[in-house]
Amino acid sequence: MPITHEGLAKEFKWVTRPGEQKHIGEAIDPTDPIMQEMAYELIVGNNVDVDRLTREALDSGYSANQILDDGLLNGMAIVGVKFRDNLIFVPEVLVAARAMKAGMAHIEPILSASGAKPAGTVIMGTVKGDLHDIGKNLCIMMLRGAGFIVHDIGVDSSPEDFIAAVEEHGAQIVGMSALLTTTMPNMGRTIATFEDMGLRDEVRIMVGGAPVTQDFADEMGADAYGDNAVEAVDRAKELVALLAELRSS
């Protein structure tokens, strides 16, 4: 079935990496015009219309899951890809995030009351000495959108802060962000503290932030590296699956 909403079709064509257009197309093509309109209004950051469309969709019998998957997350997937490929920038992402929040405000209470199993529990923080949090917050937003429970421990987070949060919330995944070359080593120190406390096997640790690389992540013993918020979600899903596999064997 072709993409029927003219605006969404225009946005969709920006998804240019091999495989992605097909992948996102497969998710969006079969959805109806109302869900496509919701996705489009989210992409362009129209929080008033996303709010209205979500309410109307609920009133006319769409399930909260359907709205999340077919409307909001489909839109957010395109936002994430466009941001990663420098087709849009931080302000546009924040405006789309506000629209996502407007829709989520209606469906979150329904989803949590329904007891839908979360994708996993993640602790996210910016490491000690570092106050940058825009990227971390984008990752959190995408993770929550993908069904993870995320506890945000904020900026300037010490190894002890990460450990305390893991213990308090029984999290499987730790995500650390760093934007300064001077604070990147604090990721390694945090990992070492998990080891010293005998807790390293309890969690899987992913790292990111503009100066962080796969090589650096490997060197300090992280389990995964993500270059952007879309990858943060992909890595978190992989790590949860890995941990489940290990625990069941």
Sheet with 120-127, side-by-side order of all strands: 148-157, 120-127, 173-177, 204-208, 224-225
Angle between helices 90-114 and 74-84 (to 10 degrees): 150
What is the CA 107 to chain-centroid distance, rounded?
A: 17
Q: For residues 37 and 152, which CB has a smaller minimum distance to ligand B12 in the complex?
A: 152
**Cα–Cα distances in Å, from 29 out to 33, 39, 68, 155?**
10, 12, 16, 40
Cα separation of 51 and 99, whole Å?
7
Quote the least distance from Cβ 82 to ligand B12, whole Å.
11
Task: Give me the least distance between CB of 65 and ligand B12, in Å please.
Answer: 26
Alpha-carbon Rg for the chain, nearest whole angstrom, is: 19
Q: State in angstroms the smallest separation of the CB of 246 from ligand B12.
A: 20
Q: List residues near ligand B12 by CB under 6 A.
A: 90, 129-136, 138-139, 175-177, 179-182, 206-211, 226, 228-229, 231-232, 235
* Cβ-based nearer residue to ligand B12, 12 or 162: 162
- Please identify, using beta-carbon distances, which residue of 7 and 129 lies nearer to ligand B12: 129
* Complex with ligand B12: residue 48 or 90, whichever CB lies closer: 90
Q: What's the closest the beta carbon of residue 137 comes to ligand B12, in angstroms?
A: 8
